[in-house]
Amino acid sequence: MADNDIYIRSAERREYFRIDDDVLLQVRQVDEAEVADIAEHIGDRMPDRFTVAANFAVSSRQMSRLLHGIMADTPDTARCLRMVDQKLNHLARLFVNEAVERGAFTRLHVNLSAGGLVFPSSVSFAPGTLLETRMVLPPSSMGILTVSRVVHCDPRDAAADGCAWLVAVEYVHIREADRDLLVSHIMNRETELLRRQRGEGSEAP
């Protein structure tokens, strides 16, 4: 079965648009007791160093709408607030990058959606296995923390990278704000791809 033919088969989940993308991924099998702790952390409004960039991205969106109104009356104040927001986002990305350097993250070519993920793995997981997944989305360096359930795990046709399995998971615990960030990331990636395709198609032979 080819990589592109793999998709998450779950009748109970919503359908999401999917793209192929390169991400940094850390996967860890967890038990039910750990899931409760991770789910509580995901629901906590206080981010850690790994999830802070995603939290700031959500705040920046909310702030952008407010700044649009401020710009008309006090443009200097609005510009100053934007600069502060940009500095905080840069700092948040540094935190995420530090977490990546300390953790066992691997750059992988995955199939990504806001409902789940398909990724190559050197380890086989039984359907129903629960995983803690920490995913970093380049180039924004947003860290997304989820608890995911393995839907299926299939042998790969080509395993030159040492990953003999292709694992499909669906998110069991994820912040809705992070799901929205995934949707935006996917749409931006698709827009970039279409732009490149149009550019390549317009080149003279």
With a cut of 70, say whether residue 71 has pLDDT above it. Answer: yes
Report the chain's mean pLDDT, rounded to a whole number: 79
Distance CA 87, CA 93 (A): 10
**What per-residue confidence (pLDDT) applies to 14?**
44
Whether residue 155 is preceded by a cis peptide bond, meaning omega within 30 degrees of 0, is: no
pLDDT at 10: 41
Q: Which residue has the higher pLDDT, 23 or 41?
A: 23
DSSP 68-134: HHHHHH-HHHHHHHHHHHHHHHHHHHHHHHHHHHHTT-EEEEEEE-SSEEEEEESS---TT-EEEEE
Give the residue-averaged pLDDT of 149-178: 88
The domains of the chain are located at 3-7+18-200
Instruction: Average the pLDDT over 125-151 and give the result.
Output: 92
pLDDT greater at residue 47 or residue 191 = 191
pLDDT score recorded for residue 90: 61
- Reported as a single tens digit per residue, the pLDDT across 73-130 is 777 776 776 776 666 666 667 666 777 777 778 899 999 999 999 999 999 999 999 9
- Please, is 42 exposed, middle or buried when counting C-beta atoms within 10 Å of its C-beta (0-12, 13-18, 19+)? middle
State residue 29's pLDDT score: 96
- Structure confidence at residue 162 (pLDDT): 78
Q: Which helix (H) or strand (E) holds 58?
A: helix 52-73
Rounded to two decimals, the pTM is 0.73
- Mean pLDDT throughout 1-8? 45
| 14-18, 42-46, 196-200: least confident range | 14-18
Place of tokens 């992070």: 178
* pLDDT tops 90 at residue 149: yes
pLDDT band, very low/low/confident/very high, at 204 (cuts 50, 70, 90): very low
